[in-house]
């Protein structure tokens, strides 16, 4: 069964030119991007996204940072995509993130940890609609490699 999740490239990821590197990993894994946009997050969007952390001491700094410059928002689709993407991004603190994960490879501190990803399917549904409406999310099938090759031969 395919699932959807929200993946954001945070301001520092955009500024540091890491958009392509993050997207390349999703494509290499075989996941589908069902929606994508660049936007400057509003205060209300960031407060809604991180509402669970409202009372934490890091909350004001996090909101300031997330609204400071543009982000990339994406809906990613695939089997078990919520847990797969969480594994690919690594632990919140880049110092604890497993080698090879996005946060381990690209980040040094918790606030500027390059990406956000939903942590459950239920939260994914809530978070996706902070950034996208139904019409912007396009599900599609990718042909398997062999189907792609057969298609190429038929074209000749």
Footprint on this chain of ligand CDP (rule: CB under 6 A): 53, 58, 62, 92, 110-111, 113, 116, 119
Q: How far is the CB of 111 from ligand CDP (least distance, A)?
A: 4
Using an 8 Å Cβ cutoff, are 76 and 35 in contact? no
Please identify, using beta-carbon distances, which residue of 40 and 142 lies nearer to ligand CDP: 40
Please identify, using beta-carbon distances, which residue of 45 and 113 lies nearer to ligand CDP: 113
CA dihedral 84→40→52→134, nearest 10 degrees, is: -60
Task: Give the nearest residue (CB) to ligand CDP.
Answer: 92
**Biggest CA pair distance of the chain:** 63
Cα 103 versus chain centre, distance: 12
Query: How far apart are alpha carbons 47 and 33 in whole angstroms?
Result: 25
Annotated active-site residue 65? The verdict is: no
Please identify, using beta-carbon distances, which residue of 60 and 154 lies nearer to ligand CDP: 60
What tokens does 53 get? Answer: 């952390």
Catalytic residue among 97, 116, 131, 132: 116
Catalytically active residues, by annotation: 116
């Amino acid at each position: 069964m395919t699932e959807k999740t929200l993946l954001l490239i945070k301001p520092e990821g955009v500024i540091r030119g890491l958009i392509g590197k993050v997207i390349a990993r999703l494509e290499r894994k075989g996941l589908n991007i069902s929606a994508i946009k660049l936007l400057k997050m509003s205060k209300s969007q960031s407060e809604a996204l991180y509402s669970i952390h409202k009372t934490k001491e890091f909350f004001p700094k996090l909101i300031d940072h997330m609204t400071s410059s543009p982000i990339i928002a994406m809906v990613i689709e695939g089997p078990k995509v919520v847990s797969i993407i969480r594994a690919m991004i690594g632990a919140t603190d880049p110092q604890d993130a497993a080698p090879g994960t996005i946060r381990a490879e690209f980040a040094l501190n918790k606030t500027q940890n390059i990406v956000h990803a939903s942590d459950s399917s239920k939260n994914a549904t809530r978070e996706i609609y902070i950034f996208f409406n139904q019409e912007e999310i396009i599900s599609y099938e990718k042909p398997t490699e062999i189907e792609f090759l057969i298609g190429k031969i038929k074209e000749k």
